[in-house]
Structure 1
């Protein structure tokens, strides 16, 4: 009982993150890459895929603060972040990380929240609370009984504190990198200790080019299914699943992937060891779509997302994929819809960016991320789940933070090395080194780093930091 009370208090403290910080993190989030399919061929709707050739150009427009180009309005579809209005009666508190937390916190043992000495002026803000409460939903719970016979997944067991890194196959000029450049990049990433590559989308023929390069270095991939923030779960989302299945089942591997860098003990069946499924460590369906989608009812959209994840899991299992599936949402959004999301997921995930919390310094970054991740790891406790593989119906099934597996993932985190300060969060090369050192020591085996190289194709954003998250210099010894 005491543990439950402590966990509840800790969760409420985390939910008291600043409204400004949450807005900033999602204004920051990635430029989405829109694709459309016609007659089974992939054709970019804004004209970058010419004659169905895989020559992609990522969108340069994303969130509200970007400079709108009227001339481009007819050719570029730009998703817009829709931030819910804060409730005036809902003040919330952000637990302040301890400045000496990195010295007191061992790896995978995050600090308890520090609440003494919190300055109301600095830490009280309004929290963007969805208008539609989960308690008001009249939708029946999803039926997952058809998943009972699915093979169980193994626990995620990363064997290093330097697990995964985000990789974009785009040049600074917004074109696709040639295959030779991708092979060189992946070789460097592998040589500097990472075992997994995260792809947010499959454009630029990334499944083939990055997958082939990853195979050469016994690496694996986290693959994303993009859900458009404007059109929602449409034929594009389903077409990406078709593309993934087609690639994975036709991608031939002459020998099984080396077990050295495998981070799941039983997520791939022996039948998939000779094709692309054995390269995929984790599948993400959607990226903060509930938070960002302009739905009149976030609750209804959460149900739609869970249903799509459920149907996609059934398709992928039958096609040979036996690994975990998740989505990402901000922790407050995840908590609001946890009774819907948790049964649909194999493990909860979020993108935790300490830079967008104006009171968190580079030295606090590791403790802040560790605390947030510890809350996320308990967010689904007590939620009934399906008996996948005939196992327990209690959630989660993806391991124990104190044992061999992990119970939650931070699928994007980092610190910019250039730009302007966000309060006490200051960008810079030294600051990036300090922040990333703390994050990697505390939760490196559960976090995906943003990112290997700088992203010159992005708009710089409010603090001029968007293109400056590349941290290859920290691992390679020199920034190029």
Structure 2
């Protein structure tokens, strides 16, 4: 649970707002405490064993016909023919021509690509692949590394067998960068997935003034994986109108994309596969997803790709006939396309590619409210994600989700134009003027406000009420209050809500609201659901 938006138009007690904001910051860290610093977590030190072997290098696609003068050479590499940037060494100043090249990829392949990020002066540990294990185990996975040959740095994918002595979070294969400037943009190798399709590097003529290496990128026309066909194209939306904020709540008449929303007050529930200090097992996930399905929900919302969420939750969802709302999680590291955290999640989605289960992709969760992204940065990230996932067959809708406060900030026009629907997290419990019986009307009023900002249909992607915790004005937690609030939300706007959550989250760190661990509502099955 990430917190509630309190609209400017809502009546709020000042003390309730302050408590709410404190809760939001603590909870934002708490959601991924298990991932970033579990009780048994440690970054692998000498007692861990890492065994490396190279599985592919920077691919060589062709050797271009030598021009008259000067002569460029293709950087010597080996590996499969894949559409990754081709490095050409230009040893002297001059004009160089590189012909167009086409590559056809017939099967999904893991390769190495480069991303960039800005870092301040000093020594930094960047990149790598993060894995979470719930016991002493050995994992084998690809990671991106740098290799230097005659002074030229190139990126390769290497395979590592990693022996972890206990449960915890481990970062495999990070690189170290030392920066002497005050701020510098550095290149980080990342593992990425290339999907089947036809890719072309256009002809390039370039003039260089010094000896350099020129990289020729590819543009692709991918095709979906044969065993997971892309869903039908969505109907074309009417032309976008400039976003306007009306004087009162207005709900757009235009319906949302097919597949979104439910009936009978039940649509979706959030799901995170975390336990105390570990990830839940596939058997535990299967049992809980089955519980959600039997309660009559049709969709699960997942936040990220860690803890093997995609394969394990995806398999359980398919078994129990549920759909998925997939997510890319953004934290304090920011939402630049080059962030290794972002690249890892996008790569995981591309490698998984079960788009036949996915109704919506949510890029970031309350990143605006928390100050992790500006509207422009988030817009760029969503645009980048669209390009990446389209290369592996996803053609469905996108959104981001935030609080009402986050949506009411300046500069939202570009973001509104980039998303297909509006996503809102709204928790009436943190609005000090809302009693449990009025939770539904409050949540609906928040959605009306946010829909009007973008002029698009919106959905509540997180809402609930805790069974234990302190009071914020008229909003008090408890089993009776939770039942009353959840019924109000279900009866008022349940068809457009993702409820938070199935069971209490004992793995979270408790905060001053005394509510963090107590949002589970399975005890309300089947009395309310």
**Does TM-score exceed 0.5, indicating one fold?**
yes
Equivalent residue for 2:387? 314
Q: Which moved more, 1:336-345 or 1:43-52?
A: 43-52
Equivalent residue for 1:262? none
The CA deviation string for residues 272-329 of structure 1, in whole angstroms up to 9 with x for no partner, is xxxx1011111111111122136xxx6xx32111011012112222321121111112
Runs of 4+ in 1 over 6 A off after TM superposition: 38-41, 45-50, 53-59
How far, CA to CA, are the matches of 2:168 and 2:424 in structure 1?
23
Equivalent residue for 2:514? 464
How far, CA to CA, are the matches of 1:184 and 1:47 in structure 2?
18
Equivalent residue for 1:326? 399
Helix, strand or coil at the partner of 2:523: helix
Helix, strand or coil at the partner of 1:459: coil
Are 1:58 and 1:170, in contact at CA under 8 Å, matched by a contact in 2? no
Equivalent residue for 1:199? 302
**Structure 1 residues without counterparts, runs of 5 or longer:** 1-10, 60-145, 249-275, 382-395, 397-406
Q: What do you get for the CA RMSD once the two structures are aligned?
A: 3.4
Are 2:349 and 2:389, in contact at CA under 8 Å, matched by a contact in 1? no
Are residues 1:243 and 2:348 paired?
yes
Larger radius of gyration: 2
Matches within 5 A, 1:261-280: 276-280=354-358
Matches within 5 A, 1:133-172: 151-152=233-234, 154-160=257-263, 161-171=265-275
How far, CA to CA, are the matches of 1:52 and 1:197 in structure 2?
28
The CA deviation string for residues 210-266 of structure 1, in whole angstroms up to 9 with x for no partner, is 101110111011111112213443122022111101111xxxxxxxxxxxxxxxxxx
Distance 1:293 1:424, change over 3 A: same
Are residues 1:349 and 2:423 paired?
yes
How far 1:368 moved relative to its partner? 0.5
Distance 1:340 1:20, change over 3 A: farther
Are 1:43 and 1:50, in contact at CA under 8 Å, matched by a contact in 2? no
Are 2:134 and 2:278, in contact at CA under 8 Å, matched by a contact in 1? no
How far, CA to CA, are the matches of 1:157 and 1:176 in structure 2?
29
Equivalent residue for 2:454? 380
How far 1:189 moved relative to its partner? 0.7
How far, CA to CA, are the matches of 2:400 and 2:438 in structure 1?
27
**Structure 2 residues without counterparts, runs of 5 or longer:** 1-6, 38-42, 44-51, 53-110, 113-127, 142-163, 170-220, 222-231, 236-256
Higher helix share: 1
TM-score, length-scaled by structure 1 = 0.61
Matches within 5 A, 1:271-310: 276-293=354-371, 301-310=374-383
How far, CA to CA, are the matches of 1:339 and 1:446 in structure 2?
24
Equivalent residue for 1:399? none
Helix, strand or coil at the partner of 1:379: helix
How far, CA to CA, are the matches of 1:202 and 1:216 in structure 2?
19
How far, CA to CA, are the matches of 1:313 and 1:333 in structure 2?
22
How far 1:362 moved relative to its partner? 0.6
Equivalent residue for 1:43? 130
Are residues 1:424 and 2:474 paired?
yes
How far 1:477 moved relative to its partner? 5.0
Distance 1:57 1:189, change over 3 A: farther
Are residues 1:451 and 2:501 paired?
yes
How far, CA to CA, are the matches of 1:217 and 1:242 in structure 2?
26
